[in-house]
Structure formats: structure tokens, C-alpha cells
Amino acid sequence: MDYKPEDWASTLDATIEDITGSLQMIKGIHHRWSILLNSIKLNDLQRCYFHPNRNRKYPLHVALALYAWHGDHHLAHIENTP
């Protein structure tokens, strides 16, 4: 992991109960993602980017699969929070 999640979880903005702002941010980001993803061509999924912290290249199709898994992982945390 490239950061310490517990450090982020203890910041003031992470401890407020009103999540309206966070939901608006996610909605906006996903709107932009849908525009981008609907505009790319199949061949674009083979393009790579370099992740400097991991010293590794990732094809776009792998990065998108990881992002989808990450979203599902966060949703599972939310759904399993008492």
C-alpha cells in the first residue's frame, strides 16, 4: 500500500457524519469516468501508464479492473458497517 489508511481515517473530514459532500464528489468523478470510458477505443485498453511508487507499467484494462475491484471493496466495507 502506498499510504497509511488509518492516518487518513483520523482526519477531521473523515470523521464527520454528513457524507453529502463525499457523495457529490463520487457522483462527479463517476460522471467524468463514464464520459472518458465511453470515448475510448478497444485498442486504447492496451495502452500503459507508469506507476513510479511501484516502478511498474500498468495496461489501462488492468488499471480499470483494479479500480472496479477497489470500488466493490469499499462498498463491502460500507455495507458491513454496523
On the question of pLDDT at 6 being above 70, the answer is yes
What residue spans define the domains of the chain? 42-82
The model's pLDDT over 12-65, given as tens digits with 9 standing for 90+, comes to 888 888 889 989 998 999 999 999 999 999 999 999 999 998 899 999 999 999
The pLDDT of residue 7 is 87
Nearest CA among 64, 34, 63, 32 for reference residue 50: 63
- Beta partners for 56? 51
SS3 67: helix
Q: What b/e string do you get for 26-53 counting C-beta neighbours within 10 Å, with b at 16 or more?
A: eeeeeeeeeeeeeeeeeeeeeeeeeeee
Predicted structure pTM score: 0.65
On the question of pLDDT at 1 being above 70, the answer is no
